[in-house]
Every structure is written in C-alpha cells, then in structure tokens.
Amino acid sequence: MSTESPDRVIIFDTTLRDGEQSPGCSMQPNEKLEIAFALRDLGVDVIEAGFPIASPGDFESVRTIARQVQGPVICGLARAAKMDIERAWDAVKDAARPRIHVFLSSSDIHIQHQLKSDRATVKAKAKEMVAFARSLCADVEFSPMDATRTDPDYLHAMLDAVIAEGATTLNIPDTVGYATPDDYGAMIAGILKHVPGAARTVISTHTHDDLGLAVPNALAGLMAGARQVECTINGLGERAGNTALEEIVMALHTRADFYKLPTRINTRLLYPISRKLSHITGMQVQRNKAIVGQNAFAHESGIHQDGMLKDRSTYEIMKPEDVGIPQTELVLGKHSGRHALRQRVADLGYHLSDEQLNNAFDAFKILADRKKEVYDADIESLAENQLQTTTTKLYTLQAFTSNAGTGTLPSAAVCLWRSDGTILKDAATGDGPVDAVFKTIARICGVNIKLIDYRVRAVTVGTDAQGEAYIEAEHAGRKLHARAVSTDIVEASALAYLEIINRMVSRDGRDRLLPTDIFPATA
C-alpha cells in the first residue's frame, strides 16, 4: 500500500521547453540530455523535454531523452493540430511513461487577434485534438493558453469539453504573467467548483514572472487545490521567466508547517543543477537570487554575523547544505588520482562516460600543473568542456600566438585543424589581441559572426585562476552561445569563438550559410 500523501505536489519541469525558449538559451542535444539526467536525479515527476514539431533537432532530442531517461514522465508539447500531436507522440512514445501536452489559446484577445477565429470553433478544436491525442497516449495534458485573461465561463466550458475527451491534467497558464495571487487562486478554486470532473484530473499551475509574481501565484494555485506545478531551474523562460523550481520547492519544504504539501525533490541537488544550467546556457544567476544566488546565504552585517555565531537559527531559515551548497570546497591537486576526480565529478552532478572522464583527467593533469589548487568550479568547467566536445567539430584549434602591447599593432596568427585533415593557417591584425584572434579565425573559416555579447570572468580566485570566456552571437536570426575555459583568457576566447563557428556550421551546413556570412575562406 502506498504511504504517499494524496497532497503530494507533482513537479513538472519545463526547463528544456519553456526555459529553452529564453533568448540566447538554446542548448545542444547532449547538453539537454545531461540536464534531463540531472532532473531525474533531482526527483522531478515530469520532464517536458521539448516541442518536437519545432525542428528536427528538437524532435531528436525529445526522442533521445524519452529513450534514455528512466523514471519521470517524459512529455512533448504540441499545438492543437494533428501534425504536431503525431510528431510529439513519435518523439515520446518510447518513454516508459509518455505524455502529450496539447495547448490552444482560450482568451478573446488570442482568439480574435492571433487565431482569427471564434470561441465555438476554438472549443471544438480543443475537444477534437484532445480526443486525437488520447487515441495515441493515455496521459494527455491540456493547456488553455492565456487562461488568466479568459472569460471564466468560457474557460470552464472548454475544460469541461476536454475532460470529456479524456484529458488527464488541466494546466492553467498565466501566459503573460498578468495574474495576482488572489486572482490566480480564485481561478483554480473556480475551476474545481464549476467544472464537473475537474477534481478527477490533476490541476496544474503555469505562471510567468513578468510582475515578479510567478512563485506567489503558483503557491496560491496550490493552496486552492492545484497539485502540479510547472517550473524551470533558475526560473528560466520566456521574457522574465517561469516559476523557479528551487524557489517553489524550498517554500513548500521550509514552510511545510503551513503548506503541508510535500514534493519528491532531493533539495540537496538544487544548487548543483542550478550551476550546471547556468554554465550550459551562459545565463548567470543573479547574486541575490533566492536559494541559489551567491549571496543567498551570505551574512554581511555585524549584527547578523554575531547572531549567526551564537546560533544559526537567529538569521537562517534554511541551511546552505539543505540546497547542496558545499560547506567546504574540496581542493584537488596534481597528486590527486583518477578516482578522486571521478568521485568529485559525480558529486557535482555530472554524468561523464569513461572516455569523457579519461579526457577530463588528462585536462585535469595539465591544469593541475599550471595551477596549484583545483577547485570545484574548475572541475565543473572540465566536465562541461567534455560535454561540449562530444558534438562533432569541423574546426579544432591547433595553435595560436597573439601580440599586443603599448606602441605595437595587435596581431595574431592561428592554426586550425579541419575535420577532413586539412591544416589551415592565417594571421591578422585587430583592435586588441582577442579581436585579432577572432578576425583570424573568421578569415580562416570564411564566416562572418555578429557578436552580441562577449564576457570574460575568473572561474575561481587567484592570479592563476582559469578564465571563462562566454560569447553570444547571432546568425540567420538565431542566437547561439558558447563558453570555454583556460588559464589563458585569449585561448579561452579563441576556443569559445571556434565553438560558435562549429555550432553554426553543424546547425546549418557550411554551404547553407547566408551569402552575406561568407567571404572566401583561407585555402
């Protein structure tokens, strides 16, 4: 007999779908798989792995996750259209527990301006498409998009129609982040009161953070009877983002006395997954972000420090270790062995294959020679470099030099290896050493990149710290980002720049780059 509370909250993570819709946050398939494994370890109940009709890459990535990640329900998003639903089903059907998530706008604003339709047609479409999804999959979620700006009677009628066709979860999106906690709670209570059969389904919250109310709205929804929360790691998502998973989970956990709504999340893995996502997407977590920000557990004022020294409960409602913030950073050095590295990589939440671990170990030895102490942040970078290097690369950096100084003309010479075995060399001048290296690489590859963002930061402390270069670029209307780490920041920048080119080329095929992006490549 199950001893689980009937009030357990289902945690539905949509980092890989709604989160990935954040500008500049697209992820590579292997990075998505890594996040999906980490979400499984974290204990989420449902992973929305993507929007399979959106692109062949999205489809493949959802299918891979469905086939490889055991445990959580694997969900694929679909518009209320047969083609979308079939594609979503093809992508998730190999999962042990597949789900199709169908959405269709319900507010008059969307019906008139976006769908150019009318209420009756839209309701009939929702009904027909949920029935179709249900003919393929036993687990079907329906979302009336822009629900919080929808006429309540019409919303109830639409939900009633999809319940009749077998929808198992009803998700109520605050698509534009307009609701207040009172509105949103009342809306969920209204659905449970006025829609016959709603209580037999799971009611879900999906709240955006445009007014900074995503988490309060989701909590109000739960208090009113919702039992699934849709959320993302670090609150990633369209515009201001979604409900942050770590915040809603820690609110339910820390104030269990009040909410009495348990989850299955292993809270000690919240910090590692937050770091991992931030590294992969390049989207840094603000220092004062609740739960996972660098300052979340830092006590600066004298009075607070004094209280903390006397008794931690004076100023601390959660312990850093509860969310997986390491108390002491384990330091590795050049005498540390493969086993210690393997253990640390696993503790930091990475899933490297034996081959990736061997490569990481070789890189670790080189790093440990350059640097006395290797910190967790260094190890995270080594592990992430391995994730990046599993994608097929057209170009690899063989060697480079760059010169700069007062009174000299900044210049660089670069040697690249192309995957067909050709060695390519060139040199250029630039506005500084990094610019000169970028210009040389662009000339060799025959590619013009529009840089949107370029940042360099130290991964750890000290003058021997590794530098991380982060680059965001635009190509053919899509944003790409890449990061790389080295003790030499010019090298880190060159590697990140080359990674952008490799991603651009592998996504588009060299001959499909726009004519304006190409000028004669170096022979």
255: helix, coil or strand?
coil
191: helix, coil or strand?
helix
Distance between CA 209 and CA 237 in Å, rounded?
A: 9
Q: Rule CB under 5 A: is residue 146 a binding residue for Zn ion?
A: no
Query: Which of residues 22 and 486 has its CB atom nearest to Zn ion in the complex?
Result: 22
Would you mind telling me the total number of residues written for the chain in this entry? 523
Query: Which of residues 18 and 472 has its CB atom nearest to Zn ion in the complex?
Result: 18
Size of the site for Zn ion (CB under 5 A): 1
Specify the stretch interacting with ligand KIV by CB under 6 A; choose among 27-35, 170-178, 444-452, 493-501.
Answer: 170-178
Query: Which of residues 173 and 216 has its CB atom nearest to ligand KIV in the complex?
Result: 173
Query: Which residues are within 8 A (CB) of 180 and not within 5 positions of it... i.e. 6 or more apart?
Result: 211, 213, 217
Residue 134 interacting partner from Zn ion, ligand KIV, none (CB closer than 5 to 8 Å by kind): none
Query: Which of residues 21 and 487 has its CB atom nearest to Zn ion in the complex?
Result: 21
CA dihedral 305, 306, 312, 314 (to 10 degrees): -100
Residue 103 interacting partner from ligand KIV, Zn ion, none (CB closer than 5 to 8 Å by kind): ligand KIV
Size of the site for ligand KIV (CB under 6 A): 9
Specify the stretch interacting with Zn ion by CB under 5 A; choose among 16-24, 91-99, 128-136, 293-301.
Answer: 16-24
Token pair for 167: 């929808």
Contact present, 139 and 73 (Cβ < 8 Å) = yes
Query: Which of residues 143 and 356 has its CB atom nearest to ligand KIV in the complex?
Result: 143
Residue 352 interacting partner from ligand KIV, Zn ion, none (CB closer than 5 to 8 Å by kind): none
Query: Which of residues 148 and 411 has its CB atom nearest to Zn ion in the complex?
Result: 148
Distance between CA 206 and CA 145 in Å, rounded?
A: 10
Residue 143 interacting partner from Zn ion, ligand KIV, none (CB closer than 5 to 8 Å by kind): ligand KIV
Contact present, 7 and 262 (Cβ < 8 Å) = yes
Rounded alpha-carbon distances, angstroms, from residue 420 to 362, 395, 521: 25, 9, 15
Q: Rule CB under 5 A: is residue 18 a binding residue for Zn ion?
A: yes
Token pair for 436: 């000169």
- b vs e for 172-204, b when ≥16 Cβ sit within 10 Å of the residue's Cβ? bbbbbbbbebeebbebbbbbeeebeebeebbbb
- For residue 21, the minimal CB distance to ligand KIV (Å) is 8
398: helix, coil or strand?
strand
Q: Rule CB under 6 A: is residue 148 a binding residue for ligand KIV?
A: no
Distance between CA 37 and CA 117 in Å, rounded?
A: 41
Distance between CA 357 and CA 371 in Å, rounded?
A: 20
Site for Zn ion in 464-523 (CB under 5 A): none
Residue of 50, 173, 181, 185 that binds ligand KIV (CB under 6 A):
173
Contact present, 42 and 231 (Cβ < 8 Å) = no
Site for ligand KIV in 184-223 (CB under 6 A): 206, 208
Q: Rule CB under 6 A: is residue 88 a binding residue for ligand KIV?
A: no
Query: Which residues are within 8 A (CB) of 44 and not within 5 positions of it... i.e. 6 or more apart?
Result: 11, 12, 13, 72, 245, 264, 265
- For residue 123, the minimal CB distance to ligand KIV (Å) is 17
Query: Which of residues 175 and 388 has its CB atom nearest to ligand KIV in the complex?
Result: 175
Beta bridge partners of 451: 473
Token pair for 496: 């990140």
Residue of 15, 64, 168, 175 that binds ligand KIV (CB under 6 A):
175
Task: Name residue, tokens 């790093």.
Answer: 367
Specify the stretch interacting with ligand KIV by CB under 6 A; choose among 34-42, 68-76, 167-175, 379-387.
Answer: 167-175
Which amino acid, one-letter code, is at 261?
A: L
Query: Which of residues 103 and 184 has its CB atom nearest to ligand KIV in the complex?
Result: 103
Query: Which of residues 145 and 195 has its CB atom nearest to ligand KIV in the complex?
Result: 145
Residue 483 interacting partner from Zn ion, ligand KIV, none (CB closer than 5 to 8 Å by kind): none
Contact present, 282 and 470 (Cβ < 8 Å) = yes
Cα-trace Rg, the chain: 25
Which amino acid, one-letter code, is at 135?
A: S
- For residue 179, the minimal CB distance to Zn ion (Å) is 13
Residue of 11, 15, 18, 195 that binds ligand KIV (CB under 6 A):
18
Binding site for Zn ion (CB under 5 A): 18
Binding site for ligand KIV (CB under 6 A): 18, 103, 143, 145, 171, 173, 175, 206, 208
